[in-house]
Chains A and B, each alone.
Chain A
Amino acid sequence: MEETKYEIVRRVLIIRLQKDLDHHCAVNIREKADKIIDRYYIKHIIFDFSKAKFMDSAGIGVIMGRYKKIKYSGGKVVVSGLNKSIDRIFNISGLYKVIDKYDTADICLQKIESA
C-alpha cells in the first residue's frame, strides 16, 4: 500500500493520506506525525484526504489527538479533499466544531497563513 506523505511548509505539516485511515494505519501515522511535530516545531497541520478513500473512528482519534497536541500553542488543524463518506463521518462525530474544511491543501495553506 502507498505510504502516507509528509511535507513541511514553513512550520505547517501537510499529511497526505493515501487510501485508508483505519486503526491499522493510524498507529504509524500518529507516531510519525508526532515525531515531525516535535522535531520541526510544527504549528499547524493539514490533513489532505484527496487520495484517501476510507476513514473510520480510528481517524477521528488521529485527528483529535493531533489537534489536542498543537492547540495549546495556538495551532490549527484543517482538512481538505474529503469524499462524501469521510465528510459524513466528520459531520456525525462533530469534528467540524473544531476543524475547518477547504477544497484543497493549497487553499488550506493560504487560509492558515492569512489568518
Chain B
Amino acid sequence: MNIENKMTIEFESRSINESLARTVVAAFISPLDPTIEELSDIRTAVSEAVTNSIIHGYTDEIGIIKMECFIVGNELSVEISDLGSGIEDISRAMEPLYTSRPELERSGMGFTFMEVFMDNLEVVSVPGVGTNITMRKRVGSVKEMQEYTQEINHNVL
C-alpha cells in the first residue's frame, strides 16, 4: 500500500480550535489504519503543539496557526507553525517540567509528550518571528508488518 497525500489548514489561535486540529489530523490519517494507541499519541502531540501556539506564541492576541500534514508511505508528518513570540532558548524550553508560565498552571510537559508520542520532533523558532514544530510518526506499522509477513508466507508457499 502506498499512499501519498497532503493537507493544509489555517485557523485562529482560539482554544476552541484545539479539538478541531486533533479531529482533522485523526481524520486525515484514517486511510493508514492507525491503531487506537497511535491515534491517541498523535492527537496528544498535535494538541500540545497547537495549545503552545495559542498560549505562548500569541498569548493574549489572536493570530493564525497553520497546520500542514503529509502522508508518504506509512509515515505522517505534521507541521504546526505560528507567527508569534518565538522561543529564546529552545533546549531549555524542551526540558521536561520547564514552563515559562507556571502562573497559568502549566506543567512543562508539552514538548516531552510530543517527543515521547511521536517518532521524531524538530523545533525551529526565532524570537519575535515565530515557531515551527515538525513531528513525524510511522502509522499502522503493525498491520503493515502483518501484511508483509503474509506476503512472504504466500511467496514461500
Chain A residues within CB distance 8 Å of chain B: 20, 22-24, 26-27, 30, 54, 56-58, 60-62, 64-65, 84-85, 89, 92-93
Per the CB 8 Å criterion, the residue count for chain B at the interface is 26
Q: Quick one: given A54-B22, A64-B105, are A85 and B37 in contact (CB under 8 Å)?
A: yes
In the complex, are the beta carbons of A93 and B37 less than 8 A apart? Answer: no
In the complex, are the beta carbons of B109 and A22 less than 8 A apart? Answer: no
Q: With CB as the reference atom, state the residue of chain A lying closest to B41.
A: A85
Could you tell me which residues of chain B, from 29 to 51, have a CB within 8 Å of some CB in chain A? 36-37, 40-41, 43-44, 47-48, 51
In the complex, are the beta carbons of A57 and B104 less than 8 A apart? Answer: no
> Closest CB-CB distance, A20 to chain B, in whole Å?
6
Interface string of B50-64 (1 = CB under 8 A from A): 010011000000000
Of all A-B residue pairs in the complex, the 7 with the closest CB atoms, nearest first, are A61-B105, A85-B40, A24-B15, A60-B107, A57-B109, A65-B105, A56-B47
List, in ascending order, chain B residues with CB within 8 A of A85's CB: 36-37, 40-41, 44
In the complex, are the beta carbons of B105 and A30 less than 8 A apart? Answer: yes
Report if B8 contacts A (CB, 8 A): no
List, in ascending order, chain B residues with CB within 8 A of A26's CB: 105
In the bound assembly, the distance between CA atoms of A57 and B116 in angstroms comes to 13
In the bound assembly, the distance between CA atoms of A61 and B40 in angstroms comes to 19
In the bound assembly, the distance between CA atoms of A92 and B51 in angstroms comes to 19
In the bound assembly, the distance between CA atoms of A75 and B140 in angstroms comes to 44
In the bound assembly, the distance between CA atoms of A58 and B108 in angstroms comes to 10
In the bound assembly, the distance between CA atoms of A78 and B18 in angstroms comes to 27
